[in-house]
Amino acid sequence: MKKVTGIGGIFFKCKDSGAQREWYRNHLGIDANEYGFTFKWRHDDDVQEVGYSQWSPFKADTEYFSPSEQPFMINYRVDDLDALLTELASEGIEQVGERVIEENGKFAWVLDPEGNKIELWEPVPSKDDPYL
């Protein structure tokens, strides 16, 4: 079973997320809105299928990365979230919080050995994704 198929997003805390977005817009051309910026791309094995990776600066006091104390979180795209969670549980890796189903896919979280929170995302097919 394929586990991780790509990077779904990079999320990081910052003191002033608005100023960060403005700096990246002005100097690097990343025209982010309040949720960040979506980098779109095509799948190697199916060029009709569109994928994307999200870049998002978060406010420094966000609880979204909890219980991790780290100022970042990486979202990994996966093929089969439920099967992966079952496999991880059999390996002694506990899920953090409840699995969530949203309009663009399924999400769950685990911690790595150093306490970094990892977001796992099984996206819906691009034709069904409201963000594309």
Q: Are 24 and 18 in contact (CB under 8 A)?
A: no
Per-residue tens of pLDDT for the chain, all 132 residues:
668 999 999 999 999 999 999 999 999 999 999 889 999 999 888 888 899 999 999 999 999 999 999 999 999 999 999 999 999 999 999 999 999 999 999 999 999 999 999 999 999 999 999 988
List all residues 6 or more positions away from 121 whose beta carbon is below 8 Å from its beta carbon: 8, 9, 75, 76, 77, 78, 81, 105, 106, 107
Parallel, antiparallel, or unpaired: how do β-strands 100-102 and 50-59 relate? unpaired
Please, what are the domains in the chain? 4-128 (3.10.180.10)
Residue 44's pLDDT is what? 86
pLDDT of residue 132: 87
Q: What is the pTM of this model?
A: 0.91
